Amino acid sequence: MFKVLVSDPISDHGIQQLIEASDIEVVKNTGLSEDELVNIIGQFDALLVRSQTKVTERILTAGHNLKVVGRAGVGVDNIDLQAATKRGIVVINAPDGNTITTCEHTFAMMMALARHIPQAYAKTVSGVWDRKSYLGVELRNKTLGVLGMGRIGSEVAKRAKAFGMDILGYDPFLTEDRAEKLGVKLATVDDIIRNADFMTVHTPLTPETRHMISRPQFEVMKKGMRIINCARGGIIDEMALIEAINEGIVAGAAFDVFEQEPPQQDHPFLNHPKIIVTPHLGASTVEAQENVAIDVSEQVIHILRNEPFKNAVNLPSVEASVMKKLQPYFNLGEKLGSFVAQITNHAIYEIHVDYAGELSQVDTQTLTRYIVKGVLSRHLGNDVNIINSIHLAKSRDVNVVESKAQLTKGFTNLITVTLKTQNKEERRIAGTLLNGYGERIVQLDKFPVDIAPEGHHILISHNDKPGIIGHVGTMLGKNDVNIASMQVGRKIIGGEAIMILTVDKAVPKEVLNDLVKIEELNTAQEIVLA
Ligand SMILES: NC(=O)C1=CN([C@@H]2O[C@H](COP(=O)(O)OP(=O)(O)OC[C@H]3O[C@@H](n4cnc5c(N)ncnc54)[C@H](O)[C@@H]3O)[C@@H](O)[C@H]2O)C=CC1
Ligand SMILES: O=C(O)C(=O)COP(=O)(O)O
């Protein structure tokens, strides 16, 4: 039975499928402190959060059963991604479910800002009928600058057009074509600062976006600008903004998010007449909360059941069409890595993976993670998975190098894994998927072979002399080791050769020791491909 902890308020309706799953127990316990979480997290396989729970390294370390942290929303800045990756815990989010809701909140804020709605409301309900203090501005014919034209920024731009606004958009990934389709003029941050009447930010908080609007930007800003932040506290420098408002550069600001949440009671935004605030409500609608909870629950179930999943934040993102091409190779890749690692005797400094054929045309990073997992699992066992395999290799000074080649040696696809060691030992394995035959190992070091990569194998190196095969067969028979198949690889008659036997069960050490006593037989080793 898997145990899932829900530590923030997440829609019950949205997590229904988790609640109903017969192999999953859901525990809802919100508002816990870090210490309280550290104490209980060890029992759980999955943790579901929104933005309140700070998923720290301490919590992740204590979560020795944790396989996944699911974020019912977009931003994962409350989760220590590095620590999760190090521990092989997959972090997933629900990037699409709250886009429209947050876009609509941004609009609500923009209109409230243009017409002083919160201030006017407060005055009216206090009994004062004040019509002259709240002269507003129209949105029509105003220029809106959008910083960050991702999901939310793009939706804001679309709606702003309906309001008759001119839109300047900046995003490092915004192309002319896409800008044109959205009816947005491609701009720089500087264009926006100097020309916009309203500016809204929709980027994540990164080292690059932290304080991207600060004193130097306010100094050259168009006078009277109104600023909205429904993305992340810290993108706009809060103290520099207060100064700019007090100096008359900025006419007003609407903030849903803060550098520290909740802000201190004496935070200057909380009683400023020109600043309106909401308590991080961007994603808080019935619809969005259901959407994100459904999305994240679905993926958590997949992860717990070891099924393919999407929206992993600490894995390279791969298009569905590419994933479809890669997926059939995951098991083969891991087995190739595992096999070649078992025959390598010295410390590895490089794992070189070469993709030939169709695989050379696609982004193979995810497949490489499986291969590296296979290699490292020889010594790290279950501590390695595809989330942390690259990290674990790097932290052991093992380079992971990918190359792409067209030469497939007659196969549609060929994966060649070479392990290089400090002692100049270099071991190589190659495999492919053969139509109708499935996964095959087709090369081992310099020898062409044909082996199904599963179960128990004995790898023998010997000199190509008559009678050896017979000796080996007899000795294994005597020890009750049944041979399922046998492959012999050699380059020249009478030269160095290898024999790979697939056997039905584990081979006792003594039998391997006896095998090497056979004349002309050099080494005998068991390879296990689980
Ligand atoms: N207030 C709330 O409750 C909510 C806040 N958010 C936040 O809104 C923000 C945007 O969310 P989405 O649109 O879903 O994300 P997204 O990933 O679709 O878009 C973010 C965009 O920012 C761009 N970007 C990154 N660095 C940039 C830079 N230096 N300058 C300009 N653009 C840059 C990216 O290229 C990307 O296109 C995130 O920070 C998210 O956490 C999202 C949902 C609810
Ligand atoms: O999805 C996001 O990035 C949000 O900021 C929403 O946060 P919340 O789930 O409402 O705590």
Residue whose C-alpha is closest to residue 257's, from 227, 292, 222: 227
**pLDDT at residue 308, rounded to an integer:** 81
Atom of ligand 2 nearest to the CA of 94: 1
Q: Could you give the percent of the chain with pLDDT greater than 70?
A: 100
At 151, list the tokens: 């999901």
- Residue 319 has a pLDDT of 83
Q: In what order do the strands lie in the sheet with 496-503?
A: 483-490, 496-503, 455-463, 521-529
How do residues 296-326 score in pLDDT, each as one tens digit? 999 999 999 988 888 899 888 888 889 889 9
The alpha carbon of 25 and the centre of ligand 2 are apart by a number of angstroms equal to 25
Question: Which ranges in the chain are annotated with CATH 3.40.50.720?
Answer: 2-96+287-304, 99-277
User: If we measure between CA atoms, which residue out of 230, 207, 211, 199 comes closest to residue 73?
Assistant: 230
Rounded Cα distance, 16 and 1, in Å: 17
Query: ipTM of this predicted complex?
Result: 0.99
Q: Are 105 and 98 in contact (CB under 8 A)?
A: no
Domain 457-525: what homologous superfamily? ACT domain (3.30.70.260)
> Considering only CA atoms, which residue is closest to atom 11 of ligand 2?
51
Which long-range CB contacts under 8 A does 285-289 form with residues at least 24 apart? Answer: 285/98, 285/101, 285/104, 286/11, 287/100, 287/101, 288/97, 288/98, 288/100, 288/101, 288/102, 289/10, 289/11, 289/14, 289/72, 289/98
Q: Is 280 in the pocket of ligand 1 (CB under 6 A)?
A: yes
User: 81 CA distance to ligand 1 centroid (A)?
Assistant: 17
Please state, in angstroms and rounded to a whole number, the distance separating the CA atoms of residues 526 and 502. Answer: 10
Task: Give the whole-angstrom CA distance, residue 158 versus residue 237.
Answer: 27
Specify the domain boundaries for CATH 3.30.70.260 within the chain. Answer: 457-525
- DSSP conformational letter for 132: S
pLDDT at 223: 98
Domain with CATH 3.30.1330.90 in the chain: 316-454
Write down the CATH number for the domain with range 316-454.
3.30.1330.90
Read out DSSP for 432-457? Answer: EEETTTEEEEEEETTEEEEE---EEE
CA-closest residue to ligand 1 atom 1: 282
Q: What pLDDT, on a 0 to 100 scale, did the predictor assign at position 183?
A: 96
Is 58 catalytic? The answer is no
Structural tokens at position 304: 């717990």
Ligand having the closest approach to the CA of 203: 1
Q: Best mutation site among 49, 53, 74 for ligand 2, i.e. most ligand atoms within 8 A of its Cβ?
A: 74
Residue 55 has what DSSP assignment? B
Cα–Cα dist 296/50, whole Å = 11
**What ligand 1 atom has the least distance to the C-alpha of 170?**
31
The Cα 38–Cα 141 span in angstroms is 54
The active-site residue out of 116, 280, 427, 457 is: 280
> What is the model's pLDDT at position 309?
87
Runs of H (alpha helix) within 26-91:
34-40, 57-62, 81-86
Q: Which residues are CB-neighbours of 301 under 8 A, at least 6 positions away?
A: 17, 18, 21, 24, 307
The number of residues in the chain equals: 530
Give the per-residue pLDDT at 482.
93
Mark the ranges of the chain whose per-residue pLDDT is less than 70. none
- Each residue of 222-251: b (16+ CB within 10 Å) or e? beebbbbbbbbbbbbbbebbbebbeeebbb
What confidence score (pLDDT) does residue 465 get? 87
Concatenating the DSSP letter of every residue in 244-297 gives HHHTTSEEEEEES--SSSSPPTT-GGGG-TTEEE-SS-TT-SHHHHHHHHHHHH
Which ligand has the nearest atom to the CA of 9? 2
What's the CATH number for 99-277?
3.40.50.720
| pTM to 2 decimal places | 0.83
Is 2-96+287-304 a domain of CATH 3.40.50.150? no
Q: Which numbered ligand comes closest to the C-alpha of 313? A: 1
**What pLDDT score was predicted for residue 424?**
86
Active site residue 334: no
Give the integer Cα–Cα distance in Å for 204 and 75. Answer: 7
Query: How far is 438 from 275, CA to CA, in rounded Å?
Result: 64
| Strand duo 438-444 + 426-434: pairing | antiparallel
